[in-house]
DNA sequence: ATAATTAATTGTCAAATGATAATTATCAAA
DNA sequence: TTTGATAATTATCATTTGACAATTAATTAT
């Protein structure tokens, strides 16, 4: 298989994932927070504990701006911040209980959108999808 | 398989795709355009011909703001706009040659980032990935 | 033919995000 | 222990994006 063609397929797939995401996100994001703040909370949600630098690096935000947004989230009490003992310049950031609740509520709305679009799904279909996801997560979209 | 668990896996996967996208996008986006304008160009790129309303709907932008961004892209000569004969209130928007070139250059940088991260990939691996993508595109991320 | 819709545009203001310089605190190495 | 590097913060300004009202032109329905 041609590498060029392979990559084209991949890019196309990423495009469709983004399009689907836009659809699933409709009316799903809490209006307490901005889109970027949602991305940050989502990132923390999946990674459990992160530093300011990690947020900046992984979401392509400058460190000062990441720090600013995290401060806002802290003021909203959606995250908690603890200074690391190992290296006291860094801090560990986690979701607060409120932050977790907010994300859960958001995911519920997304789930609603999802099932409305997809309709019923057989056991077999679900299993095929999950195993496809596992393959892609192993080889391409390393979590 | 539990529907709830199935959806959790799916959400997690979408999260990893987004994270990977952020990584692949590093230094890839042309600095002639803003992030949102890039999304719009990407959307037009994959859908060939779209209307202003479609851009607004699919990218979750209000119609006035979509119109504004498209006007900027038109001034940059990255898109072309033709009034539809069927319904003269609407217009068909496509990438200009310049717009196509810009996207191709962007994808080349993304591709470079991708192979740097992934290293070599066997024929067998590529085929497994493509067929996983096809399954997901058929059932979940309908293009 | 008129009225009611619809797609798109323009203009305006507020808010979010991006970029950059300067500062503080901590750590690591010479 | 001084020097240099790193993580994070604060402050500031420019740009981008979001929200909304008003308008125009074309279409559809009555």
Annotated domain spans of chain B: 32-106
Nucleotides of C under 7 A from a protein CB: 6-12, 15-22, 25-28
- Mean predicted lDDT score pLDDT of chain A: 94
CA atom of B4 to C1′ atom of C3, Å: 50
CA atom of A86 to C1′ atom of C28, Å: 13
CATH code: domain B32-106 is 1.10.10.10
Write down the pTM of the prediction: 0.93
Per-residue pLDDT of A116-137, as tens digits, reads 989 889 999 999 999 999 999 9
Q: Are B13 and A133 in contact (CB under 8 A)?
A: yes
Tell me: pLDDT of B143 over 80. no
A141 token code pair: 């979209």
Which of B15, B24, B129 lies at the smallest CB-CB distance from A136? B129
CA atom of B51 to C1′ atom of D17, Å: 20
Q: Are A21 and B142 in contact (CB under 8 A)?
A: no
Cite the DSSP H helix spans in A26-84.
35-47, 52-59, 63-75
A111:B7 CB<8 A? yes
Q: Which helix (H) or strand (E) holds A93?
A: strand A91-95
Per-residue pLDDT of B13-46, as tens digits, reads 999 999 999 999 988 999 999 999 999 999 999 9
Token pair 């504990």 is found at A49
* Residue B67: CB less than 7 A from any atom in strand C: yes
Q: Which fold has domain A24-112?
A: Arc Repressor Mutant, subunit A (1.10.10)
């Amino acid at each position: 298989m041609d590498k060029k063609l392979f990559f084209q397929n991949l890019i196309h797939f990423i495009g469709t994932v983004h399009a689907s995401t836009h659809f699933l996100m409709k009316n799903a994001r809490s209006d307490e927070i901005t889109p970027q703040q949602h991305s940050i909370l989502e990132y923390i949600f999946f990674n459990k504990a992160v530093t300011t630098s990690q947020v900046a690096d992984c979401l392509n935000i400058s460190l000062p701006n990441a720090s600013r947004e995290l401060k806002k989230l802290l003021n909203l009490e959606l995250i908690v911040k603890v200074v690391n003992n190992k290296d006291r310049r860094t801090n560990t950031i986690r979701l607060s209980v409120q932050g977790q609740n907010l994300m859960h509520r958001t995911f519920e709305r997304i789930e609603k959108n999802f099932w409305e679009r997809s309709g019923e799904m057989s056991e077999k279909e679900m299993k095929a999808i999950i195993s496809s996801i596992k393959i892609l997560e192993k080889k391409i979209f390393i979590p």
